[in-house]
Amino acid sequence: MFATPLREGFELRLLEERHADEMFAAIERNREHLRQWLPWVDATQTAADGLAFIRSSLEMFAAQQGFTAAIWHRERVAGVIGTHRIDWRNRRAELGYWLAREFQGRGLITDACRLAITHLFDEMDLHRVEIRCAAENAKSNAVPRRLGFKLEGTHREAELLNGRYRDLLIYAMLQSEWS
């Protein structure tokens, strides 16, 4: 999955070093929106921080430990989707995502997740995909529900964000359940 159409005017592309400035610009434009849910936002202060993330993502991809792709709208980053390190022993991955405020409400993340999950199950032959969302983030929680994921439980106060612990809801889909 290097680049694939998502829908008219949108595509998924693996993040490359040359995308660091545009990715950072998208984070800057959405900093307040993103920081309410994502703990890494405050630590991303320069394009060099974004470049370091992209480099680690490319190393992870080269080692077959996962992927990180940008959702592109023309030549502008609309969001990012990717896996955390794949647990090959158990054939399990966690999928994460974010979307710029101006692109929300169009089903883009749901479509991007559908493509990514199909890739994880069909191409990588994983057994299980998880999505973890802050319990209070209604928009993020709607995505796995729309995709038919099962809510398996709550990790109480599992993430420290902006000086406050937040509960994370854990959703999962098994390969045998994905159609």
Lowest mean pLDDT among 50-54, 86-90, 121-125: 50-54
Residue 24 has pLDDT above 60, yes or no: yes
| Apex 13 CA angle, 135 and 120, nearest 5 | 60
What is the predicted pLDDT for the residue at 3?
Answer: 82
What three-state secondary structure class fits 15?
Answer: coil
- Alpha-carbon torsion 13, 17, 18, 21, what sign? positive
Residue 177 has pLDDT above 90, yes or no: yes
Would you identify the CATH topology of the domain 3-177?
A: Aminopeptidase (3.40.630)
Q: What are phi and psi of 81, to 5 degrees?
A: -135, 145
Task: Please state the rounded mean pLDDT for residues 42-56.
Answer: 90
Of the chain, the percentage scoring pLDDT greater than 90 comes to: 87
What is the predicted pLDDT for the residue at 43?
Answer: 87
Task: Please state the rounded mean pLDDT for residues 27-39.
Answer: 92
- How far apart are the C-alpha atoms of 178 and 14, rounded to whole Å? 24
What is the predicted pLDDT for the residue at 1?
Answer: 46
Task: Please state the rounded mean pLDDT for residues 43-62.
Answer: 91
Mean per-residue pLDDT over the chain, rounded = 94
Residue 56 has pLDDT above 50, yes or no: yes
**pLDDT tens figures, 134-173:** 999 999 999 999 999 999 999 999 999 989 999 999 999 9
**Considering the entire predicted model, what is its pTM?**
0.92
Q: Hey, where are the domains in the chain?
A: 3-177
Residue 102 has pLDDT above 80, yes or no: yes
The CB-side HSE value for 72 (13 A sphere, CA atoms) comes to 16
Residue 61 has pLDDT above 90, yes or no: yes
